[in-house]
């Protein structure tokens, strides 16, 4: 049985990925900051006949992360998914705080996770980093988020050739709008700033997507599961867009 670590596993893409990899037969180690949500995920996986356990840890705390993962002897799949979507323009009073938090979680958090498991990665292991469509392009107000997700792609592209001699692949997924609570919160904030409603802002977002709908977390999880599979052994250093044609 392969061991799969997923960060940010309590909700959204992370939760869907944990469920999918468990159904595919992996022993899932679900990492997140909230024990209650992780516990609910583990219970769900076990009800479906899968194997999972929760690890409460914050990816921005490398010492705590290493200690929490100390009992893990072997890692076959690592999905670095933990992320936040803070927004601030250059002249906003809280711009520095937003920059620090977003970079700490989205980019340094991925690095901390990789460092914590590097010596436990099995030959032929699979690493999938969760970037974003904004890892390819820019959007006003999303400087910190975009920079962090561009950074995730840079990290992926550096580690792919570095780890290739060990048979380890390193890839990324770049979702566009995904139906998650984080996306809903972003739409609500935009609506407040513009004096509209979340429904109006969702319609604006949908108008830019050729397929006319948001991506589902399960669709992202399916792409991650493929990149984490034995069949994807020849794919490394690749960023896969999942945006309904938006990017």
Enumerate the β-bridge partners of residue 215. 178
The pLDDT of 15-28, averaged and rounded, is 97
- pTM of this structure: 0.95
Q: What are phi and psi of 61, to 5 degrees?
A: -110, 90
The pLDDT of 129-153, averaged and rounded, is 95
Per-residue pLDDT band for 247 (boundaries 50, 70, 90) equals: confident
- Select which of 99, 142, 145, 177 is catalytic: 145
145 is a catalytic site residue:
yes
Q: CB within 8 A of 207, min separation 6: which ones?
A: none
Per-residue pLDDT band for 163 (boundaries 50, 70, 90) equals: very high
CATH architecture classification, 3-176+216-242: 3-Layer(aba) Sandwich (3.40)
Per-residue pLDDT band for 35 (boundaries 50, 70, 90) equals: very high
The pLDDT of 39-49, averaged and rounded, is 95
Pair of tokens at residue 173: 């997924």
> How many other C-beta atoms lie within 10 A of the C-beta of residue 119?
7
Q: Where are the domains of the chain?
A: 3-176+216-242
How far is the C-alpha of 102 from the C-alpha of 12, rounded, in Å? 18
């Amino acid at each position: 049985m392969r061991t799969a670590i997923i960060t940010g596993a309590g909700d959204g893409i992370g939760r869907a990925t944990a469920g999918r990899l468990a159904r595919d037969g992996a022993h899932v180690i679900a990492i997140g900051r909230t024990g209650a949500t992780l516990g609910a995920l583990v219970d769900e996986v076990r009800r479906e006949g899968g194997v999972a356990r929760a690890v409460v840890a914050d990816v921005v705390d490398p010492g705590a992360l290493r200690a929490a993962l100390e009992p893990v002897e072997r890692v076959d799949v690592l999905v670095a998914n933990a992320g936040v979507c803070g927004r601030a323009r250059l002249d906003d009073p809280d711009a520095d705080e937003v920059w620090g938090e977003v970079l700490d979680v989205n980019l340094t958090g991925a690095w901390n996770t990789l460092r914590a498991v590097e010596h436990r990665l099995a030959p032929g292991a699979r690493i999938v980093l969760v970037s974003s469509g904004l890892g390819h392009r820019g959007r006003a107000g999303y400087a910190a988020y975009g920079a962090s997700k561009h950074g995730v792609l840079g990290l992926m592209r550096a580690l792919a050739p570095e780890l290739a001699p060990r048979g380890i692949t390193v890839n990324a997924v770049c979702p566009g709008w995904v139906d998650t609570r984080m996306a809903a919160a972003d739409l609500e904030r935009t609506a407040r700033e513009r004096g509209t409603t979340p429904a109006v802002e969702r319609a604006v977002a949908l108008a830019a997507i050729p397929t006319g709908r948001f991506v589902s977390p399960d669709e992202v999880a399916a792409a991650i599961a493929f990149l984490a599979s034995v069949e994807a052994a020849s794919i490394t250093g690749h960023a896969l867009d999942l945006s309904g044609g938006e990017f």
